[in-house]
Each structure stands twice: as C-alpha cells, then as structure tokens.
Amino acid sequence: MAILPLSAHQSVAIIGAGIAGLACGQVLANSGASVTLFDKARGPGGRLSSKRRPSATLDLGAQAFSVHNADFQRAVDTWLSIGCIASWPTATYQASPNGWQAHNDGQKRYTGAPRMSALTRHLADSLTALPQAALHTGTSITSLKRTQKGWLLVTAGGITHGPYDQVVVSAPPPQAHALLAAWDDDLATACQTRKQRACWAGWAIFDGPLPAIPGVDPDWQMARVAHPTLHIVSRNQTKPGRAAQPESLSLLAQLDWSEAHLEQPASEVARQLLAALKSLFPVSATLPDLIETGAHRWRYAQPAAACEHTYLYSGNGLALCGDNFCDGRVEDAWLSGHRLGKALIGRSV
Ligand SMILES: Cc1cc2nc3c(=O)[nH]c(=O)nc-3n(C[C@H](O)[C@H](O)[C@H](O)COP(=O)(O)OP(=O)(O)OC[C@H]3O[C@@H](n4cnc5c(N)ncnc54)[C@H](O)[C@@H]3O)c2cc1C
C-alpha cells in the first residue's frame, strides 16, 4: 500500500506508550510532526513494567534484552551512556529439581537501571521535552472516528481528542482490533491472525537470602527453569542500582501453565510459583520468610509465532506497530516503532 509521507506540522496520535509507540513518536517528533501519545496505564512502559513495593522494586515484564540490529545497537549505546540501562545478567543458570548448571549462551544482555521502566521513562521524558510532543497517561482510547478534518480519538471517559492526520496503534492485537475493526478490514484481519500467548508473572520478597545450592555461585542472577509451572527466576537485587533491596524475585510462569491457570486468583498463582521455586532447592533447605508475594496476569504477553512484518499501514491514515507485528522481543518492538516512524516520514528503512 502506498503511503503519503507526513510533512512537518502534520499531526499523529499514537495509542500505546510502550517501547514501540515511544520509538515511533521519537522519529516523528524529531522530523517536526506534532505527536500525541495515549496510554491507558498510569505511566509509559507497557510490558517493560516495574512494580514498586516499599522494600523492593521488581520487573514484571521483560527481565533483560539482547541486541542484533545495528540501529538498535546505536540506541542501546546511547542509553548505556545516559545510564538508563546497564549490562545484566552475567551469572545465569539452567535449573530443575534435578540440578543446576551454569549457562552462558555468549549473548550480551541489558536491563533498565535502576529498574526496567527507567528505559521507557527516559524515552518518554526526552520525547515530551520537545514542544511538539505530548503524552496522556491514564487515558484509554475506546474508539476512533473519521471526519473530513482527520481522525478523532474517543476516551473511556467520553472525551474526544483530535483531529489527527495519522493514527498509530501500538497496543496488542486484540486491543488494536477493537479500535480498527470499524475502519480498516486489512489491519483488523492482521490483528485477528496474530494470536497471543498469556503469561503469569509472580513476585516474592524475602527477609533473607535464598539458601545456598552446592556448586552454584551464591550471587547467581537469573535461572531458566525446566519445570511444568516455572520458567524464569530473576533476582531483582542483583540488577544494577538495586543492591540495597532484600531478596526479591520475579517468577515468570511457563506459557502453557499460564494459559491453563489464567483465571485463577493471583494469590493462588503466587503460591504455586513459590512451590515450584522451592522444588529447585535441596529438600533440606528452607526458604527465608516471605515479606510479600503476588502475581500479575499478562493476557497478551507475546505473539504465538514470529511474523514477517515489522509494521503495517494502510492508505487511510491508520498504522500498526509493536512487537506483535514482528517477533515479540524488546528489540523487535523498538525496531517496529522506529521503522514505522521512518516510513511515515518517507525515509528509507
Ligand atoms: C512476562 C514477560 C517477559 C518478557 N521477557 C522478555 C525478555 O526477556 N526479553 C525481551 O526482549 N522481551 C521480553 N518480553 C517482551 C517485551 O516486553 C515486549 O516485546 C515489549 O515490551 C513490547 O513493547 P510494545 O511497545 O510493542 O508493547 P507494550 O509494551 O505492550 O505497549 C503497548 C501499550 O499500549 C497500551 N494500550 C493498550 N490498549 C490501549 C488503549 N485502548 N488505549 C491506550 N493505551 C492502550 C498499553 O497500556 C501498553 O502500555 C517479555 C514480555 C513479558 C510480558
């Protein structure tokens, strides 16, 4: 589908201020377009979210990300120099109730510093420092309307924003479908065909360190787990800038298990994830006392399959980006938004 390049002074609404929406907004605002982002959550970040509790901060979405693309590497180098990300983890294991093995796939990874959401907070702050950009958080967009002057966005509270020349939707496909179904058959169909996997992300804060495991570095940072319930254990106090917090674990469940237990109460999910954690330690070991535990349900955690697109757009001023229209990682999400932004301003990608 041909696209008319946006010119400076044209206006763009971006629904979703995760890393894809922010990357798209940055390219467009830097080109001089007027950019307004909307996110239904209290802050930007989407699945790069962190939970702040009185004694610890825990990352509940992505724990770390890797880099393969040169454009993304340049962005990562900038974020490293600013200090909103840092290298992590360096001590990783494969764990199961039968034993632990050190695991190093040679891939360098990064995490937000001092929490994952510091990266998207930095992107949002640098974007909204531009006079032509704005971010409305706590604003759920429930429908779009087309007028002769452009697109209008209607919020859950019945407020109308716009008109805009271009609307970019970076929400997960089921949420994007609800907005686009009335206006664009091709984009709506693309949303319907991108099936999503769900994931429970548990967390637990303890009043002391985890028991030692024979042969395992006591400062291990992350473990990939072979267990029917538990998939990843990540120790938040080993992440850059969080050494002062107590033992604080993110416990990501297996996707199959998450989907089979999707409607269970969070407290029950947390209990089962903790039982799985306990099974990774020697029978004689006792876990320290719990300060707090809980679980977050991600209904749309990642796409079920990779996809050949990076972004999608139609000639009527509607476009889609986000990790769900590529491969489901932080890097894919950033590239999707970045490349869509460049396509919209008519530069090669
Ligand atoms: C548990 C978990 C673990 C992960 N682990 C890794 C990992 O180790 N490495 C890795 O690279 N990636 C990982 N990922 C994937 C990574 O987090 C995502 O690829 C990336 O964050 C997606 O960014 P995005 O901008 O495309 O989407 P999102 O971050 O989902 O942003 C979409 C935004 O749209 C907003 N929104 C939705 N509907 C509306 C609406 N109607 N109105 C307004 N706003 C709306 C949402 O609030 C959200 O902020 C993980 C994800 C999860 C859930």
Same domain, 146 and 285: no
Same domain, 236 and 207: yes
Same domain, 187 and 121: yes
pLDDT at position 127: 97
Give the atom of ligand 1 at the shortest distance from the alpha carbon of 63.
Answer: 8
- Rounded to whole angstroms, the Cα distance separating 4 from 317 reads 9
Same domain, 185 and 217: no
Q: How many domains does the chain have?
A: 2
> Looking at the chain, how many residues does it have?
349
Asked whether 345 and 195 are in contact (CB, 8 A), the reply is no
Q: How far is ligand 1, taken at its centre, from the CA of residue 171, in Å?
A: 8
Domain extent, residue 236, equals 77-115+196-303
Contact 255 CB / ligand 1 (< 6 Å): no
Burial class (CB in 10 A: 0-12, 13-18, 19+), 211: middle
Q: Name which of 166, 110, 157, 163 is nearest 138 in CA terms.
A: 157
Query: Each residue of 228-273: pLDDT tens digit?
Result: 999 999 999 999 999 999 999 999 999 999 999 999 999 999 999 9
Asked whether 189 and 35 are in contact (CB, 8 A), the reply is no
Same domain, 201 and 186: no
Query: Each residue of 312-342: pLDDT tens digit?
Result: 999 899 999 999 877 889 999 999 999 999 9
Same domain, 211 and 237: yes
Atom 34 of ligand 1 has which residue's CA nearest to it? Answer: 16
Weakly modelled stretches of the chain, pLDDT under 70: 1-5, 7-8, 347-349
Atom 10 of ligand 1 has which residue's CA nearest to it? Answer: 329
Same domain, 179 and 127: yes
Q: Which residues of 147-176 are buried (b: 16+ CB within 10 A; e: fewer)?
A: eeebbbbbbeeeeebbbbbbbbbbbbbebb
Q: Please name the amino acid found at residue 39.
A: D
Residue 94: which CATH number? 3.90.660.10
- Rounded to whole angstroms, the Cα distance separating 271 from 225 reads 17
Atom 48 of ligand 1 has which residue's CA nearest to it? Answer: 46
Indicate whether 313 belongs to any domain: yes
Same domain, 282 and 330: no
Same domain, 131 and 233: no
Same domain, 203 and 321: no
Same domain, 243 and 329: no
Q: How is residue 286 written in tokens?
A: 């006792």
Residue 127: which CATH number? 3.50.50.60
Same domain, 110 and 139: no
Atom 37 of ligand 1 has which residue's CA nearest to it? Answer: 171
DSSP structure class, residue 5: P
Indicate whether 57 belongs to any domain: no
How many CB atoms are located within 10 Å of the residue 2 CB?
Answer: 5
Give the atom of ligand 1 at the shortest distance from the alpha carbon of 142.
Answer: 41
Indicate whether 234 belongs to any domain: yes
Q: How far is ligand 1, taken at its centre, from the CA of residue 47, in Å?
A: 3
pLDDT at position 324: 83
Indicate whether 64 belongs to any domain: no
Residue to mutate, 51, 330, 338, 339, ligand 1, most ligand atoms under 8 Å from C-beta? 330
